[in-house]
């Protein structure tokens, strides 16, 4: 497994990030433990979670699973770059959500307790909070960093201008600011190529794509009627919308002798702007498939063929839509 720097930091992370959103929901705890053990064995040292994963508002079910896995020892916590998130509702109260200093501090303490650790390596804002000023957010994050409870701060689902605004204010406070951005990015959803990716490049942020298979759309859905029936109504509607593209895509993957899911992930891994796609397996078998994708080397010709089927927005803004 290749490792690379997390954006402009000196921290080294694996080229794949283990996403844990399915732990405690689609994957029971024993299966989740097996996946984390296997990931660590294969050199995947970057694990991503969130305080709202696992359902059951306020309980942080997925974080608790990770905490019990760390409790087993054997170098598990020491071997993992641990990322979690803050923003989502953790209760019914008016201050139990968002990015107020009040909520950030309480949410961090709760995550530390559930994860059974004394620090979070990458603390990510799960969404922009338009009602919280950056001075307040950075004051809270600076305090957590000073206390050693957080090492780095990242974002998720930010627009390009949010990244620019956040890091400009951070710089004025002599604070490092954002070092990573998690964005929806895959062959079928390439909007971030307009402004988010250029912003990440300009400010030295690691790009961590989530939903690399577009919620299963790029996982070979055309090949199995049973597979289609298992997908959500939303994805089934998208299958109808993209049916012609999916047929061409899956035929191309078969021609190359690779699965559709592996090609979709390999396409992200071939992008120099991508630091680590977040793979969110439900089973150990799905995790193993991700390891194979990391070995696929797509040629320029193959990438061009994929662009023909799944065209992006036309490049970066403003050239993508203006002279």
Range 58-77 burial, b when 16+ CB lie within 10 A, else e = ebbbbbbbbbebbeeeeebb
- Asked if 161 and 132 count as a contact pair (C-beta separation under 8 A), the reply is no
The predicted pLDDT at position 196 comes to 98
Q: Which residues are catalytic?
A: 53
Q: Give the predicted TM-score (pTM) of the model.
A: 0.95
The predicted pLDDT at position 58 comes to 85
In terms of phi and psi (left: phi > 0; alpha: psi -120 to 50; beta: otherwise), the region of 19 is beta
Low-confidence ranges of the chain (pLDDT < 70): 223-231
The predicted pLDDT at position 226 comes to 44
- Asked if 275 and 4 count as a contact pair (C-beta separation under 8 A), the reply is yes
Residue 279's φ and ψ, nearest 5 degrees, are -95, 130
The predicted pLDDT at position 278 comes to 98
The predicted pLDDT at position 71 comes to 98
Residue 154's φ and ψ, nearest 5 degrees, are -130, 180
Domains detected in the chain: 3-216+260-309 (3.20.20.100)
Quick one: what percent of the chain has pLDDT higher than 70? 97
- Asked if 84 and 63 count as a contact pair (C-beta separation under 8 A), the reply is yes
Tokens coding 299: 């040629």
pLDDT digits (tens, 9 = 90+) for 70-80: 999 999 999 99
Rg (CA), the chain: 20
- Asked if 90 and 105 count as a contact pair (C-beta separation under 8 A), the reply is no
The predicted pLDDT at position 8 comes to 98
């Amino acid at each position: 497994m290749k490792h690379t720097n997390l954006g402009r930091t000196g921290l080294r992370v694996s080229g794949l990030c283990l996403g844990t959103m399915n732990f405690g929901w689609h994957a029971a705890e024993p299966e989740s433990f097996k996946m984390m053990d296997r990931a660590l064995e294969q050199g995947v040292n970057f694990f991503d979670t969130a305080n709202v994963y696992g359902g059951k508002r306020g309980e942080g079910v997925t974080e608790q699973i990770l905490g019990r896995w760390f409790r087993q020892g054997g170098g598990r916590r020491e071997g993992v770059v641990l990322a979690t998130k803050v923003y989502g509702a953790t209760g019914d109260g008016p201050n139990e959500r968002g990015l107020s200093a009040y909520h950030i501090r309480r949410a961090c303490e709760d995550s530390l307790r559930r994860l059974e650790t004394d620090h979070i390596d990458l603390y990510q804002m799960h969404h922009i909070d338009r009602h919280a000023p950056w001075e307040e957010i950075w004051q809270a994050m600076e305090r957590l960093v000073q206390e050693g409870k957080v090492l780095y701060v990242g974002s998720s689902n930010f627009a390009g201008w949010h990244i620019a605004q956040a890091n400009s204010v951070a710089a004025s406070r002599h604070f490092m600011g954002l070092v990573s951005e998690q964005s929806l990015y895959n062959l079928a959803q390439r909007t971030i190529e307009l402004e988010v990716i250029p912003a990440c490049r300009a400010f030295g942020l690691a790009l961590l794509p989530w939903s690399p298979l577009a919620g299963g759309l790029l996982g070979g859905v055309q090949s199995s009627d049973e597979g289609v029936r298992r997908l959500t109504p939303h994805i089934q509607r998208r299958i109808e919308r993209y049916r012609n593209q999916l047929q061409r895509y899956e035929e191309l993957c078969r021609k190359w002798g690779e699965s559709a899911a592996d090609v979709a992930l390999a396409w992200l891994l071939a992008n120099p702007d991508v630091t680590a796609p977040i793979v969110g397996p439900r089973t150990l078998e799905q995790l193993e498939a991700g390891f194979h994708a990391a070995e696929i080397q797509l040629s320029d010709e193959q990438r061009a063929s994929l662009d023909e089927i799944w065209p992006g927005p036309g490049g970066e803004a403003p050239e993508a839509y203006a002279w």
